[in-house]
């Protein structure tokens, strides 16, 4: 009876995580498409998209942490919720100054949220497995943040396209993670039926 309970909990968590990753990938793909199309031609839409991206991250991390045992159990995600919420406010303020400031804010956020995502993935590896893409994503996010900060110091003004490329890579990592968990679920089903 104990073994069954242990097997069901990670399986349920893996299903929930798979859905979460698919939703994150879908949102990011839509955001990237909007950024590269409408966002390139409408400053107002670009501003809304730039504010929405970290706000969405805060909400998504909050929901995922709540479904994965609560905020107290998922400290890296809890901190990520706070960091992303503060980043949302910082983006609103930075938009009043320049896109260079916005890119610098995104750079700092990418570093912090990337390291927190990496920490979450390492912790989850023990219970769910298959977190290698999220570990890579977190590490790459932190590196991209440093690149954003250096770009923000350049005289040429950046655009939403700078952030959209970063978001596109994130979407791919979320999609890979969801697909990896999907394949693992199928393997378990085949093994059980054998």
pTM (two decimals): 0.86
Q: How far is 116 from 135, CA to CA, in rounded Å? A: 10
Q: Per-residue pLDDT tens for 152-184?
A: 998 888 889 989 999 999 899 889 988 888 877
Q: How far apart are CA 35 and CA 23, in angstroms?
A: 18
Name the DSSP letter for residue 37. T
Residues 81-120: pLDDT tens digits? 999 999 999 999 999 999 999 999 999 999 999 999 999 9
Res 55 pLDDT > 80: yes
Question: Which percentage of the chain shows pLDDT scores above 90?
Answer: 57
CB atoms within 10 A of CB 13: 17
The string of DSSP letters for 66-107 reads HHTT-TTT-HHHHHHHHHHHHHHHHHHHHTTT-HHHHHHHHH
| Of 24, 32, 143, the residue nearest 77 (C-alpha) | 24
Phi/psi of residue 68, nearest 5 degrees: -105, 30
If one counts every other C-beta atom within 10 angstroms of the C-beta of residue 6, the result is 10
């Amino acid at each position: 009876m104990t073994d069954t309970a242990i097997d069901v909990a990670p399986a349920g968590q893996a299903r929930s995580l798979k859905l979460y990753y698919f939703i994150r990938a879908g949102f990011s793909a839509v955001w990237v498409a909007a950024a590269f199309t409408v966002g390139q031609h409408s400053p107002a839409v670009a501003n809304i998209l730039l504010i929405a991206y970290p706000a969405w991250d805060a909400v998504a991390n909050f929901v995922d942490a709540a479904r994965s045992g609560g905020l107290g159990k998922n400290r890296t995600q809890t901190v990520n919720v706070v960091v992303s919420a503060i980043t949302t406010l910082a983006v609103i303020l930075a938009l009043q100054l320049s896109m260079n400031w916005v890119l610098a804010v995104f750079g700092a956020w990418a570093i912090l949220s990337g390291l927190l995502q990496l920490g979450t993935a390492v912790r989850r590896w023990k219970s769910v497995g298959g977190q290698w893409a999220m570990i890579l994503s977190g590490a790459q996010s932190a590196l991209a943040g440093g690149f954003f900060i250096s770009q923000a110091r350049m005289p040429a003004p950046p655009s939403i396209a700078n952030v959209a490329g970063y978001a596109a890579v994130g979407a791919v990592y979320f999609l890979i993670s969801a697909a990896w968990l999907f394949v693992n679920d199928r393997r378990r089903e085949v093994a059980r039926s054998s």
